[in-house]
């Protein structure tokens, strides 16, 4: 395992702190070194499919033969990403969810290759269904979580500015006009594929935003029955009802506004780990890990760069006193807001409709984040506070970004 990667981050009170991030590499294999037989088998199979001889291979997470990501480097100078996501051929929700994730990524990457040549995403090189291997082109650079803290101030601004045209390009792709995953019939498209089988729900090919939120809330209610006692579950259900009540006017506005209700290609997991930056300039060079993708109304598709505006559920302004989760930020709050201002200015110059979706869709996107979360706000306490401040007080005295 490589030594830990130390970065300067900030606490919610803007105190700067040195943090050991996850290692960039967990296991590194060299051609003359012994290694885990299962890892070696995957390296050999991937090299065979690429018609090359491996020189090095590096895993991006602790080795798991059923779920891993590695990059492999061949003796002819080529490099590739190898995605392993094994599943069993049965009809259990977990195995079907695993299969859906693999085929969702394969489907959208093929779709993007045909429909978005200018988007910096991996291209499919080989797919081995028998071994559950998806091999794609290698994306040079470093993920934003590791790259951003070490950038110069001007390069940090560049990372934000360079994300704007990429985000606008995704916003303008010719997406299927319905909820569900992008891509072909390799996967059941009429689903909102999320972080677990329990979080995933059927969208029934609807185009109605209210129906989508109702389905998402039903999924949250079902999960609550497992983690909460009866009293906590009833409290959460009342809070979810209140949230939906507050969302109704925003949903109606979005549905009545053609450019906000038009569907757009959406990457549902744009955390910093999945954005690749050039390590010196800060330019965005890649977007990876597309297994969680969907067609969403444009107002739900726009968004701020995740390294300057964390998910609402991590906002220091809202927290559940029962939660033991601790979050850190790449910048102090004032700088996060300044960079959000820069992003808004940049996208407004590029695409006025994107800008309006970014601003007016923020609370809809945040509401979905509150609905999806379960580990740090089981009873919906933090969600309820946000609901009252942002949906029933017209945002008076509140910053829509909550950066």
Contact at 8 Å (CB) between 137 and 123? yes
205 and 304 fall within a common domain: yes
What percent of the chain has pLDDT above 70? 94
Task: Note the pLDDT tens digit of each residue in 291-343.
Answer: 999 999 999 999 999 999 999 999 888 989 888 888 999 999 999 999 999 99
| 27 or 123: which leads in pLDDT | 123
DSSP 97-125: HHHHHHHHHHHHHHHHHHH-TTS----EE
With tokens 């701020």, the residue in question is 304
Burial of 203 (0-12, 13-18, 19+ CB in 10 A): buried
149 and 128 in a single domain? The answer is no
**Residue 233 and residue 282 in one domain:** yes
* Same domain flag for 148 and 130: no
Query: What residues form DSSP beta bridges with 297?
Result: 263
Q: What are the tens digits of pLDDT across the range 352-402?
A: 999 999 999 999 999 999 999 878 899 999 999 999 999 998 654 456 776
Q: What's the whole-number mean pLDDT along residues 176-203?
A: 77
User: What's residue 281's pLDDT?
Assistant: 98
Does some domain include residue 7?
Answer: no
**Which helix (H) or strand (E) is 59 found in, with range?**
strand 54-59
| 3 class by beta-carbon count within 10 Å (0-12 exposed, 13-18 middle, 19+ buried) | exposed
d(CA 295, CA 203): 11
Percent of residues in the chain assigned helix, strand, coil, to nearest 5: 40, 20, 40
- The CATH number of the domain where 113 resides is what? 3.30.200
Query: Tens digit of pLDDT for each residue in 248-290?
Result: 999 999 999 999 999 999 999 999 999 999 999 999 999 999 9
Split into its structural domains, the chain has a count of 2
Judge if 93 and 156 occupy the same domain. no
- Count of positions (residues) in the chain: 403
pLDDT range class, residue 1, cuts 50, 70, 90: very low
Name which of 79-93, 97-111, 183-197 the model is least confident about: 183-197
Question: How many Å separate Cα 331 from the centre of its chain?
Answer: 20
Residue that finishes a domain, picked among 137, 159, 189: 137
Predicted local distance difference test score (pLDDT) of residue 39: 86
């Amino acid at each position: 395992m490589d030594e830990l990667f130390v970065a300067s981050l900030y606490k919610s009170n803007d105190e700067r702190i040195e943090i050991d991030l996850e290692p960039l590499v967990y296991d590194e294999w060299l051609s003359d070194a012994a290694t885990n037989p299962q890892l070696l088998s995957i390296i050999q199979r991937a090299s065979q499919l690429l018609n090359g001889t491996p020189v090095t291979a590096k895993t991006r997470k602790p080795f798991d033969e059923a779920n891993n990501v590695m990059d492999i480097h061949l003796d002819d100078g080529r490099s590739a990403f190898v995605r392993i996501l094994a599943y069993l051929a049965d009809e259990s929700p977990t195995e079907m969810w695993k299969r859906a994730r693999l085929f969702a990524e394969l489907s959208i990457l093929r779709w993007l290759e045909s429909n978005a040549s200018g988007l910096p995403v991996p291209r499919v090189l080989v797919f081995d269904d028998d071994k559950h291997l998806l091999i794609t082109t290698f994306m040079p650079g470093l993920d934003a979580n590791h790259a951003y803290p070490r950038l110069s101030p001007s390069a940090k601004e560049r990372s934000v500015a360079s994300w704007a045209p990429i985000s606008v390009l995704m916003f303008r792709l010719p997406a299927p006009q319905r909820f569900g995953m992008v891509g072909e019939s390799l996967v059941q498209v009429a689903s909102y594929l999320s972080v677990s089988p329990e979080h995933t729900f059927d969208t029934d090919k609807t185009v109605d935003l209210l129906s989508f939120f109702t389905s998402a809330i039903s999924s949250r209610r079902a999960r609550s029955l497992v983690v909460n006692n009866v009293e906590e579950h009833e409290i959460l259900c009342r809070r979810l009802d209140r949230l939906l009540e507050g969302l109704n006017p925003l949903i109606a506005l979005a549905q009545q506004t053609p450019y906000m209700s038009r569907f757009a290609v959406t990457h549902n997991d744009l955390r910093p780990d999945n954005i690749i930056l050039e390590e010196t300039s800060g330019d965005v060079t890649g977007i990876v890990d597309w297994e969680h993708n969907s067609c969403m109304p444009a107002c739900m598709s726009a968004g701020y760069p995740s390294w300057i505006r964390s998910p609402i559920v991590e906002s220091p302004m809202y927290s559940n006193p029962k939660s033991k989760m601790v979050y850190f930020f790449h910048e102090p709050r004032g700088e996060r807001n300044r960079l959000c201002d820069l992003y808004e200015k940049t996208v407004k110059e590029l695409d006025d409709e994107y800008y309006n979706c970014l601003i007016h869709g923020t609370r809809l996107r945040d509401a979905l984040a509150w609905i999806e979360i379960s580990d740090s706000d089981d009873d919906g306490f933090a969600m309820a506070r946000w609901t009252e401040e942002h949906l029933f007080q017209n945002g008076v005295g509140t910053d829509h970004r909550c950066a």
